[in-house]
Amino acid sequence: MPSPLPPDWTDRLALDRAHLWHPFTQMKVHEADPPVPVIGGEGCDLLLANGERVLDGISSWWTCLHGHGHPRLVSALERQAAKLDHVMFAGFTHEPALELVTRLRPKLPANLTRAFFSDNGSTAVEVALKMAFQAQLQRGENGRARFGALRGGYHGDTLGAVGVGELENFMTGLFSPLLLACERLDVPEDPRRELQPDLSGWPERLEASRQQIRAFFTEHGARLAAFIAEPLIQCAGGMRMWPPECLQELRAQCDAHGVYLILDEVATGFGRTGTFLACEQAGVAPDLLCLSKGLTGGTLPLSMTWATEAIYSHFWGEPTSGRAFLHGHSYTANPTACAVACASLALFDEEPVLAQAQALNAAMTEAFTTLASHPAIRQARVLGTIGACRLVDPKTGRAHDPEARFGWRLHRRALDQGLLARPIGDCLYLLPPLSTPPARIAEAAETLLALLNG
């Protein structure tokens, strides 16, 4: 049984029910299961109003890197907010933005030299899509008004980002009359990430996939402004891990057909996949790179779209040339958020953050190997600090009836046992802060096994 909430939360939850509208939520769900009041964050834990402490097993939507309330991030926030909280970024500049590009640039592929700020992952993607389209136009390519994207992808919730995502997955198909023209390409899941892999016929399937990528570009390449992908793992699409060889083929085909490659590392960046960026593992550099979530270590909203000098050069001209990139948000390059991002990157330089990610990878592999032995689990797999598997009905071996909302119920029961692990559909996964002690991952696996048995 969950611990009871203090009495003052009765009125607060009534207020929530009366006036709030939560993201990605059918609000009727909260009639039976009200939102969970959180009153604090400490390291890899969230502190609930009922006095319980839960492991933030999904890093609060994949944002938190070094733990909640990290003193270096908090003090950077306080210092910067007191000095210069915010200033418009059109026609002005400031130290935190300059320090941030100085710290971040050496960690990125060397061809990415220009940073454009916005506020969240969706806008980082919007910026990349608009930049790609405009750059193509301004280099004289008029016929490129379409985009290419992977099936199963997710790039955010603004209309441009929805247009290049997999509509069916997020019930966003109803917006299709409003969306960009997008051609979609399938890539296979990579069985080599599975802990009990079946590799029979894999080289042939991989080669067939590479051929499909080539055929896709032969058919559509001349009309595409850009191709967008989440490198190596489609996170919101259900932690679909896909082969680096396919990313290499995408890069080669983009080059061959004059298409810009946009890599969306909003979820995968900052060590999640074991390397600073996921694309490093394929040896691929994009033309445009989207970063957010972990950029500020999970403390404040901020995002960046990085571009090559070649793309930037297509926007250069006289003030009246009409070539400028006319896009911006009120909070573009918010100094406080930039200062926190600098503090987060300083931790990468001064503390063994990527080594912690390696330790987490080992713990995750062990935990998901244990989980894989349970009859309610299939396809356990790991990439860097991300472990995932598919939930099935152990009696039939098939997916649970969606009406039963097994994943949601598992999530709510796990909270009562000290774990935040909220499945995406039938994908159960852990994606904790990089600072999580490995022993906590073993505990989380024990908790999940007990719940699956219970």
Ligand X SMILES: Cc1ncc(COP(=O)(O)O)c(C=O)c1O
- Number of other residues whose CB lies within 10 A of the CB of residue 3: 11
| Count of positions on this chain that bind ligand X (CB under 6 A) | 14
CB 271 within 8 A of CB 294: yes
Which x/- pattern, by CB under 6 A, does the window 12-41 give for ligand X? ------------------------------
270 binds ligand X (CB under 6 A): no
> CB 201 → ligand X: shortest distance, Å?
30
Interacting positions 276-315 with ligand X (CB under 6 A): 292
The answer to the question of residue 266 lying near ligand X (CB under 6 A) is yes
- What is the tally of helices (H) and strands (E) in the chain? 14, 16
Nearer to ligand X, 418 or 425 (CB): 425
When asked if residue 154 is in the footprint of ligand X (CB under 6 A), the reply is yes
Least distance CB 204 / ligand X (angstroms): 30
The single residue among 150, 241, 267, 300 that binds ligand X, judged by CB under 6 A, is 267
Task: Please identify, using beta-carbon distances, which residue of 272 and 411 lies nearer to ligand X.
Answer: 272
DSSP 167-220: TGGGT-GGGGGGSPPEEEE-----GGGBSS---TTHHHHHHHHHHHHHHHHHHH
Contact call for residue 249 and ligand X (CB under 6 A): no
Binding mask 124-143 for ligand X (x = CB under 6 A): -x------------------
Check residue 34 and report its DSSP letter.
P
Cβ neighbours of residue 169 closer than 8 Å, sequence gap 6 or more: 152, 154, 236, 237, 238
Q: Coil, helix or strand for 240?
A: strand
Among 249, 264, 280, 426, binds ligand X (CB under 6 A): 264
Q: Is 236 in the site for ligand X (CB under 6 A)?
A: yes
**What is the nearest approach in angstroms of ligand X to the Cβ of residue 123?**
7
Any contact of residue 235 with ligand X (CB under 6 A)?
Answer: yes
Strands 303-308 and 288-291: antiparallel
Asked whether position 243 contacts ligand X by CB under 6 A, the answer is no
Q: Which of 56, 141, 230, 426 binds ligand X (CB under 6 A)?
A: 230
What does R_g of the chain's alpha carbons equal in angstroms? 22
Nearest approach in angstroms of CB 169 to ligand X is 12
Cα–Cα dist 239/382, whole Å: 9
Among 59, 80, 118, 122, binds ligand X (CB under 6 A): 122
- Shortest separation between residue 267's beta carbon and ligand X, angstroms: 4
Taking contact as CB under 6 A, which single stretch among the options 263-271, 346-354, 359-367, 404-412 is the one that binds ligand X? 263-271
Residue given tokens 């069916």 in the structure block: 168
Q: How far is the CB of 125 from ligand X (least distance, A)?
A: 6
Long-range CB contacts (< 8 A, 24+ apart) of 174-183? Answer: 180/129, 180/146, 180/147, 181/145, 181/146, 181/147, 182/146, 182/147, 182/148, 182/149, 183/146, 183/147, 183/148, 183/149, 183/216, 183/220, 183/224
Q: Counting contacts by CB under 6 A, is residue 155 touching ligand X?
A: yes
- d(C-alpha 66, C-alpha 297), whole Å: 6
| Largest distance between two CA atoms of the chain | 69
Token pair listed for 27? 């609000």
Cβ neighbours, 10 Å, residue 281: 17
Give 125 or 357: the residue with its C-beta nearer to ligand X.
125
C-beta of 138 vs 299, nearer to ligand X: 299
Contacts with ligand X, residue ranges (CB under 6 A): 120-122, 125, 154-156, 230, 235-236, 264, 266-267, 292
